[in-house]
Chain A
Amino acid sequence: MNNDDKDVKGAPPLPGPAMAPGRDSKEDWIGRQLRRVFDDALNEPLPDDIMSLLERIGEQPGAHTKSGE
């Protein structure tokens, strides 16, 4: 018969300024997905052909590739 508990439970956890939650979260969603696509690629190991390309360059500090002359 005590209504106090109910009142407490029903109280809104966040008072205050209406902040168009739909809009905000959607904007976050865009930013999150952008970074997710980007970071996924960032964290993947580089493909072998690029690495071997770079290794060939490393062996030839003179900046010339073998087809040079």
Chain B
Amino acid sequence: MRNELVEALPMLRAFARSLSGNRDRADDLVQETVMRALANRDKFQEGTNLHAWLVTILRNQYYSEVRKRRREVEDAEGTHASRLSDIAGQPGHLELDDFLRAMRLLPDEQREALVLIGASGFSYEEAAEICGVRIGTVKSRVSRARARLEEIMNGGVTLPGGDSAEKSAHEIADAMRLRA
């Protein structure tokens, strides 16, 4: 299993980073997932989709951390919004920065569906299995995510609570207008 695991790591890491929006957190998630995968390797059925299995472990880990953090800190919005920009940082990444901040404004499960389908190359069927929902649910999450991103970029977003989130939505809209 080790070689397959090594081969899967870049994909796993890219998924973690797209989902969490944070480099360090993504790497922690990958490391934790590797440990769990090895500890539970007897539960993996040979011949089934290892990538999907690993992504399932990783996203479960991510969501349990999200729930824990939510209980611990009610601060959410502000830190999250700034956190997604960690990835962008470098000059010439202005567009990307806007996108990452817009992504952060999506509900986790919509962002997840979008990344699974739009970037990771999983089928709707695989994504449904990974998320433990029906295919139709994945489809609707993806389309709601896209609609929401468009809405954010067009500036037509009303956000519940959190000045900073609202502010960043306005900034994104401004940036998009400048670019158009």
A contact residues vs B (CB 8 Å cutoff): 22, 26-27, 29-31, 33-44, 46-47, 49-50, 53-54, 57-58, 63, 65
Contact = CB atoms under 8 A, between A and B. Distances in A.
Contacts of A54: 2, 5-6, 34
Contact of B26 (A29, A31, A35, A41): A41
Main secondary structure of the interface of A (DSSP, over half): helix
Contacts of B59: none
Given A50-B27, A57-B2, 17 more contacts: A30-B149, A31-B118, A35-B118, A35-B119, A37-B18, A37-B87, A38-B115, A38-B120, A40-B87, A41-B10, A42-B14, A43-B10, A46-B13, A50-B31, A53-B34, A53-B35, A54-B2
Contact of B13 (A26, A41, A57, A63): A41
B99 interface: yes
B14 A38 contact: yes
- For the complex of A and B, 5 pairs with smallest distance between CB atoms: A38-B119, A41-B14, A33-B99, A41-B17, A34-B118
Main secondary structure of the interface of B (DSSP, over half): helix
Contacts, number: 80
Interface of B: 2, 5-6, 9-11, 13-18, 26-27, 30-31, 34-35, 38, 41, 87, 95-96, 99-100, 114-115, 118-120, 146, 149-150, 153, 180
